[in-house]
Amino acid sequence: MTYAERLAAVRAGMARQDLAVFLVPRADEHLGEYVPPSAERLAWLTGFTGSAGLAAVFATTAAVWSDGRYVLQLATETDPDLWQRLHITETPPPKFVADQAGEGARVGYDPWLMSEEQLARFAEAGITMVPVAQNPVDLAWQDRPPPPPAPALPYDAAYAGATSDEKRVRVAAILKAEKQDAAVISDPASIAWLLNIRGQDVGFTPLALGFAILHADAGVELFMDPAKLPPETRATLGNAVACAPREALPASLASLCGKRVRLDPVGSPVWFAERLRAAGAKLAPAPDPCLVPKSCKNAVEQQGARRAHLRDAAAMCRFLHWVETAAGHETELSASAKLLQFRAEGALFRGESFPAIAGAGEHGAIMHYRVTPQTDRAILPDELFLIDSGGQYLDGTTDVTRTIWTGPTLPTAEIRERFTRVLKGHIAIARLVFPEGVAGVRLDAFARAALWQVGLDFDHGTGHGVGSYLSVHEGPVSISPYLRPATVMEGMIISNEPGFYLPGAYGIRLENLVLVQRAAFEGAAKKFFYFETLTLAPFDRVLILPALLSSEERAWIDAYHARVLEEVGPHVPEEVRAWLVQACAALPG
Amino acid sequence: MTYAERLAAVRAGMARQDLAVFLVPRADEHLGEYVPPSAERLAWLTGFTGSAGLAAVFATTAAVWSDGRYVLQLATETDPDLWQRLHITETPPPKFVADQAGEGARVGYDPWLMSEEQLARFAEAGITMVPVAQNPVDLAWQDRPPPPPAPALPYDAAYAGATSDEKRVRVAAILKAEKQDAAVISDPASIAWLLNIRGQDVGFTPLALGFAILHADAGVELFMDPAKLPPETRATLGNAVACAPREALPASLASLCGKRVRLDPVGSPVWFAERLRAAGAKLAPAPDPCLVPKSCKNAVEQQGARRAHLRDAAAMCRFLHWVETAAGHETELSASAKLLQFRAEGALFRGESFPAIAGAGEHGAIMHYRVTPQTDRAILPDELFLIDSGGQYLDGTTDVTRTIWTGPTLPTAEIRERFTRVLKGHIAIARLVFPEGVAGVRLDAFARAALWQVGLDFDHGTGHGVGSYLSVHEGPVSISPYLRPATVMEGMIISNEPGFYLPGAYGIRLENLVLVQRAAFEGAAKKFFYFETLTLAPFDRVLILPALLSSEERAWIDAYHARVLEEVGPHVPEEVRAWLVQACAALPG
C-alpha cells in the first residue's frame, strides 16, 4: 500500500465511525518510548520513524507533529503532499485540531494509546473527544506484525541489588502511606524493576510487555501472555505474584469496585481510568509508584553502573582511536558497526541501548539521526563526526556522545569556539553542587549559558534519567526546560548532554552519564548532592579553545582526562593506550 | 482585647456557624501584598505583621504559617501558648488542616479572601470547605478601622507612556483574541495601570482600591466609592469608563449571564467565580489580562525608571557615605530615617516603596525584618549592617539592598567569603544572556551556585518584578525556585537579590533592579535578552575577597563601580563624591 492508500483506508474507517478527525500518537498500550513493530502505527501511516510524534487525520487534510530533535527527519520521511509537518511546541496539536476541525466535530482517539492527561489537553481546547471501539489504523493495516513472543526471564538480585519481595513490600508501603488499596502499573519498565524480570519484546530495552496490579498487601497480579512466562520465571516470581493472561484484566479491574486505586494520569492509558470509573473504583491519580524507587539506584546498581561504564569506556576509547584514521574510507554505518563490535567484546553486553546516532558533517545536525543504508554517508576528512550510542549490560545501561574532528587540517575557529561553549555547558553541569529538592528545570540553563552568551542555543533537553539494565530514557527526572516537579535525588543516573546544531552543516553534542551522590558539608542545614561522572572517554582536544575556558573549567577537563587515562588505560590494547596518553594530555597553557 | 480573648471571640463566631476550623489568610479582597488597616485580620488575630501568612483556628488549638523570610519574625510576634508556628512549604496548610480536623470536618473560609486556586488546594486534601456568610474575625473585631477614604487621582501619560484609551484597546484585543466577552479585574494595581490612576489606600503602593470589569469593546465598569473619584479623575477616565459604587458589583456580574468571562483563578477572590457561575456566565480561567502588558515597561516608563534610579542612587550614595561613621551612635531607626530624608530631597519622591529593612548584626538574618521602636538596636562597630529599602517616584519605583561592614577593624575571612559568594551569585544573574521564552525558575540557580558549592543557600526567591510607580512586588514574573510558567520578557523590571543568612548572627543581601533589554546578535534564530542594571550604588569593597572572583566577575564589578562613580558622582555633594571615588576604585589586583 502507498502512503496515500493508507491514509484513504484510515479515512474510510473514520467515516464508518462518524469521525471528523482521528488521532494517531506514536505509542503502544504502555505509552513508552520503544514499541514493538505491531504498534508502529504512526510509522506505518506516515513513514515517520522518530520516537515521538502524533498524526491527526482530517477528512481531506492531515498533519503530523514531532519535536525539535526530529524536525529534519520528519521533513525527510513524510510526503508533503499528504502531510502538513508541524513542530509540537510551536503548533500545539490541541489548538490546531480545534481550529481545523471546528466546533462540535467528533475527534476520535484510541483509549489504549493516550493518557488521561493527553486527553484532557484536547478536551480543554474545546474538542469533543470520542473513544473508538476499533482503531481505524488497525483495521486498515493488513500485514500488521503479531505481538512479540519473547519470554520474560529472571533478573538476578546480584545485579538488581534487592529481591522482588523487598521491592514489592517497599512500594506497597508507599500505597499504604497514601491510603491506596492498589495501583495499576502499565509501564513494563516498572514491572521489570518491581518483579526482577527482563524480556526482549521491544528493541534496545529489555522489557517484557504486560500490565500489573500491585495491592497494598504487596501482592501482585501480573497480566502477561502465559507463553511468555517459563517455569523458571514463575518460580522466581513466587506465590505473591499471580499470573494471568491479558484477557483477565477487565475482570480484575471490575473487582476493584469501592477500592482506592492509584493510576498514573500521565503514564497510563486512559482506558484504565475509564474502566475503573465504570467499575465503581475510586481513582487516586498519582505517578506510577515504582518511578522514584526505580530511579534511585541502590549501592549494588551503582557499583554495577561503574563497572558497565568502565567496559563501555574501553570500547569507546578503542573506537575513538580507530575512527581517528577512518575519514575517507569508512561510513556512518561501518563506524556504527565497528563500535558495536568493540562493545560486544565486553563482558555482560546484551545489545545497544538505542540505535546509534552516527552523524557525519551535516547529518550531525539531525539530533536523533538514525543511519540507514539509504542515508549512509562517507565520513570525510576535515569535518565533524558526532556519535551518540550506548550499551545494555547486565549490570548497567550506558549512553555516551562524542563529537570528533576528522582532520587532517585544523577545524575553523568558529567550530572550535562553538565546541568549547558546548563543553563549558557540559562542565558547568558536571561541577554543580545543589541541595535536595531541586527540580531538573532549575539546573538546565547551566548547560546553555555559554551558548546563550553569544546568541546560540540547542533545541533539546540537557539530560534524561537512565535505567539500570532498563530504559535508556527513564523518568521521572530530567534536566530540561520543562517545568516538571520531579527533583534530582541521590542515586539517580542522568545524562549531561548539551549540544549545538547548525542545520545543513554540522552537529556538536557532548554527553556523559552522571550519578547523583551525597556531598558532605559539615553542619549544612540540608542535604547537598554532586554529580559523579560515570562515562570515561576523552573529548577531542583539537576542538577545544583553551583560552575560552576558566581556570576551574580547565582544571576539570584536565582532571577528567587524567582519570580516563588512569581508569581506562589498563583495559585497552597497547596502541590504544598510547593514543589515549596523547588524547588525555593536559590542555596547552 | 488580649490575643487569647480575640481567639476566643473568633471561636465563638465559628461555633455559631458550626465550623470546626476557620482560615484567616493575610489578605484583603484584592489578594495583594499591601492591605489597608481594615483588612489586617491576621495581625489583629495573631500579632504577626509579616506580608504573607495564614492562620487556622481549631476548636482548642490554632496554627499560624509564614514562609522562610518570616520564620524568626513569626516566632517573635506570636504567642507560643496560643499558636503553633509553622513553615508554609515544610508543613503545607491543606494537609495539616486535613490531618488535624479529621474527615468530614467543616472548614470555613471567607470567599472574598481566598482565590479559587487556594481553595482547590484545600479541597484536594479532602477537606469540606464552607464559605462563610460573615467572617468571624470581622464579627469579633470591635474597633476595626474604616476603609480608606483617599481619592484616586489621574496619573499623567507623560509618565505612563500611554493613554488609558490605548491601554484599554490593547487589553481588549487580548480578550477578543481569546474569545472572551469580558474580564473581571480585582487587582487595584491592574486598575491603576489600565486607567492611569493612582491612589493612597494602602501603604507604600499608590493604589486606589476597587474592582473593574473590562469588556471586549474596551469599555470599563469601575466599582469604587464615588467619594474617591473627584471631578478631575472622572474627566480623565472619560466616557468609556462607567463608575459605580461597589454595591453595584453583584448586579453587573449577574448581567454577564451567557457571556465568556475571564477571571484569574490565582489572583481573584473565589467570590467572583461563585457569583459568575450562579449568574450563568461561562468562566474563562486565565491570568489577569493586564499582568503581562503592565509588566513590560514602554520606552517612557523605562526612561522614567532610569531617571528615578539615578535620583535614588544619589540618596543611597549619600546614605552609604553617612553610615560609614554611624557605628556606635546611630540605630536602625535613625539610619532608616536618615535614608528616607536623603530620598525625600530628590525630585518626584512620593514615599518609600516598602518599609525599610534596616538590620544590624543578628537582625540582618531576619529576611524581612521591620524595625520598630521596640526592636530598634544600635548599629555597633565591627558588624554587618543590611539595609533594604526603596522609593516611590512619580517616574518609577526603586528597591535596593546593600550590606556594609561597620568597621573599624576588618571583617572575618568567613564573612568576606560568604559576602563574596553572594556577590558572585548577583554577578551571575547580572551577566546572563538568555533567549525569549525562559521562565524565571530557569535562571534562579545562577544566583545560588556559588553558595551551593560550599553547602549554603538562602530561603527566598532571587528576584521579583517591580512596577512603574506601582507595586514593588509585581507579577507575573519572578526569578525563584517555584515552577511558574511566566517568562522573562523585554521591558520587565526585576530584582536581583541573592543573600545569605546566619540566624542569630548576621544577614547578607545584595540587590539591584535590572531592566530586561533586547540583545542584538546578527543572524540569531530567536530573540535574546540581557539585564540592564538600573540600581547604582557601590558594594562594600572591604567585604569582597578578590581571589574568589573570576576575571569576568572582577571585570563586571570594576565596570559597575566605574559606572556608579561616573553617573552618580555629579549628583552628590563634594564630600560624598570624594568618598565615592574610593568606594568605586578598582579591586586590588
Tell me how close the Cα of A114 comes to any Cα of chain B, in angstroms: 25
Of B289, B29, B328, nearest to B183 (Cα)? B289
- Relative to beta strand B396-397, strand B391-393 is antiparallel
pTM here is 0.94
- Is residue A74 helix, strand or coil? helix
Nearest CA in chain B to A480: B442
Grid coordinates in use for B408? 573599624
Residue B345 one-letter amino acid: E
A129 contact B CB<8A: no
pLDDT at B369 over 90: no
Binning chain A into helix, strand and coil, the percentages to the nearest 5 are: 40, 20, 40
Cell of B95: 494537609
Burial class (CB in 10 A: 0-12, 13-18, 19+), B485: exposed
- pLDDT, tens digit, 9 for 90 and up, residues B270-302: 999 999 999 999 999 999 999 999 999 999 999
Q: 582536544: which residue's cell?
A: A541
Q: Do A483 and B519 touch (CB under 8 A)?
A: no
Does pLDDT of A367 surpass 90?
Answer: no
Instruction: Identify from A434, A443, A522, A552 which residue to disrupt to test chain B contact, counting B C-beta atoms within 10 A and taking the largest count.
Output: A434
Looking at the DSSP bridge assignments, the partners of residue A402 are: A387
Count of helices and strands (H, E) across chain B:
19, 28
Residue A87's pLDDT is: 95
Phi-psi region of B477 (alpha: psi -120 to 50; beta: other; left: phi over 0): beta
- Provide the mean pLDDT of chain A: 96
Preceding amide of A476 cis, omega within 30: yes
Instruction: Find out whether A320 and A404 touch, Cβ atoms under 8 Å.
Output: yes
A479 → chain B, closest CA residue: B442
Name the residue in chain B with its Cα closest to that of A501: B525
Cβ count near A84 (within 10 Å): 16
What pLDDT was estimated at residue A313? 98
Give yes or no for residue A22 having a pLDDT over 90: yes
Looking at CA atoms only, how far is residue B455 from chain A in angstroms?
Answer: 6
Per-residue pLDDT of B78-121, as tens digits, reads 999 999 999 998 999 999 999 999 888 999 999 999 999 999 99
The answer, for A526 touching chain B at a CB cutoff of 8 Å, is yes
Q: Give the residue on B whose Cα is nearest the Cα of A548.
A: B552
**Which residues in chain A are contacts of B282 at CB distance < 8 A?**
none
The model's confidence at residue A17, banded by pLDDT at 50, 70 and 90, is very high
The 10s digit of each residue's pLDDT in A241-294 is 999 999 999 999 999 999 999 999 999 999 999 999 999 999 999 999 999 999
The mean per-residue pLDDT over the stretch B30-57 comes to 94
- Structure confidence at residue B523 (pLDDT): 86
Grouping H, G, I as helix, E, B as strand and the rest as coil, residue A494 is strand
pLDDT of residue B321: 98
Is the per-residue pLDDT at B214 higher than 90? Answer: yes
pLDDT value for B175: 98
Alpha helices in A102-150 (DSSP H): 116-124, 136-140
A588 DSSP 8-state letter: P
Q: Are strands A433-435 and A528-533 parallel, antiparallel or unpaired?
A: antiparallel
**Cell 577531542, located at residue:** A540
A451 reaches B (C-beta below 8 A): no
DSSP for B29-70 reads: TT--S---GGG-HHHHHH----SS-EEEEESS-EEEEE-GGG
Query: End-to-end distance of chain A based on CA atoms, in angstroms?
Result: 63
Q: What is the 3-state secondary structure (H, E, C) of B449-499?
A: HHHHCCCCCCCCCCEEECCCCCCCCEEEEEECCCCCCCECCCCCEEEECCE
Q: B175: distance to nearest CA of chain A, Å?
A: 16
Crossing angle between the packed helical segments B270-279 and B116-124, to the nearest 10 degrees: 90
Q: Which residues of A fall within a CB distance of 8 Å from B439?
A: 441, 481, 483
- If you ran DSSP here, which 8-state letter would residue A454 be given? T
Judged by a CB distance cut-off of 8 A, whether residue B455 touches chain A is yes
Burial of residue A545, with CB atoms counted within 10 A of its CB: 0-12 exposed, 13-18 middle, 19 or more buried: middle
Flag whether pLDDT at B72 surpasses 90. Answer: no
For residue A214, the number of C-alpha atoms closer than 13 Å in the C-beta half-sphere is 29
A-B C-beta contacts closer than 8 Å: 83
What average pLDDT is seen over chain B? 96
Kindly state the average pLDDT of the residues B318-343.
Answer: 96
B454 with A519: Cβ contact below 8 A: no
